[in-house]
Amino acid sequence: MKVSEVGQVKHITRVVGRTFARKTISALLVGTAVLGAVGSAHKAAFAQAILQQQGTLAPMEDTYTFSAEAGQTMTIELKSSDFDTMLVLKGPNGEALTSNDDYGGSLNSTIVMELPESGTYSAVASSFSSQGGSYQIEIRPASEYEKVYSRAYSFMTAADYTNAIEAYTAAISLNDTDSSAYLGRAEATINRTYAEATTDLASPSDWPPAVVTAVVADYLKAADLLEQQGEGTTAASLREQIQYFTGTPPEPQPDPAVQPDLPNEAIPVEPNGGIGDGATPLPAPISPISPR
């Protein structure tokens, strides 16, 4: 598959393991050949092999090629909800330039890189644990936000937390709707606090107040964004973390098995005979039959 023009985006959905399945037939034929070789001394007992060949079974992976110019920054994104992705970028000479396993706090893989030369590059999609499943891969020119966020992520992996905080802040100024940038900045702030501490920090209660304020603000913003995107469970988890940072005990949740106490007093009847808003009025009382 090729991206032959700058700015063209390839969005591909594939199922890892199809190539492996096709190769299974060849493997069975090779197995037949091995049995024939073992029994070569007893040719009368075994039929002659129709195929005898050596081979190597490669791990399950798919390769996609694209053309790009020197100095161009490209984003390669590999996502899957079925397995832990692995992504490798190879240069025009076939050598691996870089790789990525997890990116931005997820198990998905992303490479953002300025390409050193013009030519045809290869993006290799695979699985960390060799498991198969559906995935999506997209190759596109990197946006300014992706470039800055990638720089922040690189600072984090290099334990340069001060520059990571500055880069995450710059990324947020370009796009304030990505929760991972807020979480990345919070993580960098926490890591810098522990790295620069001159005393033992046993818990967030030992953090400087300014650190607690900054981390809680980033977690709150990330939780709000995730909730807007339908990630309610993750948002709730972040809010529990905020309570841990601030030392606030979690709010007690009602036990669904315990029924609330009901009032003993009678339910008041509205003037029109109904009980509560929108209730059906009570029927008029039946007059007693008078004796003749």
The predicted pLDDT at position 105 comes to 83
Q: Is residue 129 part of a domain?
A: yes
Q: Is residue 290 part of a domain?
A: no
Torsion of CA 193, 102, 175, 239, to 10 degrees: -60
Q: Is residue 4 part of a domain?
A: no
Which of these ranges, 155-164, 214-223, 279-288, has the smallest mean pLDDT? 279-288
pLDDT at 243 exceeding the cut of 80: yes
Give mean pLDDT, residues 217-223: 96
The CATH number given to whatever domain includes residue 128 is 2.60.120.380
How far does CA 194 lie from the centroid of its chain? 27
Q: Is residue 272 part of a domain?
A: no
Which of these ranges, 104-108, 201-205, 262-266, has the smallest mean pLDDT? 262-266
Query: Which amino acid, 287?
Result: S
199 and 129 in one domain? no
239 and 165 in one domain? yes
Q: Average per-residue pLDDT in the chain?
A: 79
Torsion of CA 129, 135, 140, 144, to 10 degrees: -70
130 and 15 in one domain? yes
196 and 75 in one domain? no
38 and 134 in one domain? yes
Torsion of CA 153, 182, 225, 141, to 10 degrees: -30
19 and 109 in one domain? yes
| pLDDT-derived band at 6, boundaries 50, 70, 90 | very low
Q: Is residue 284 part of a domain?
A: no
Number of separate domains in the chain: 2
80 and 190 in one domain? no
CA distance 205 to 212: 8
The predicted pLDDT at position 36 comes to 45
DSSP 106: B
The CATH number given to whatever domain includes residue 237 is 1.25.40.10
> For residue range 140-196, what is the model confidence (pLDDT) as tens digits?
999 999 999 999 999 999 999 999 999 999 999 999 999 999 999 999 999 999 999
CA distance 182 to 225: 10
109 and 45 in one domain? yes
Q: What is the domain extent for residue 206? A: 146-246
pLDDT at 265 exceeding the cut of 90: no
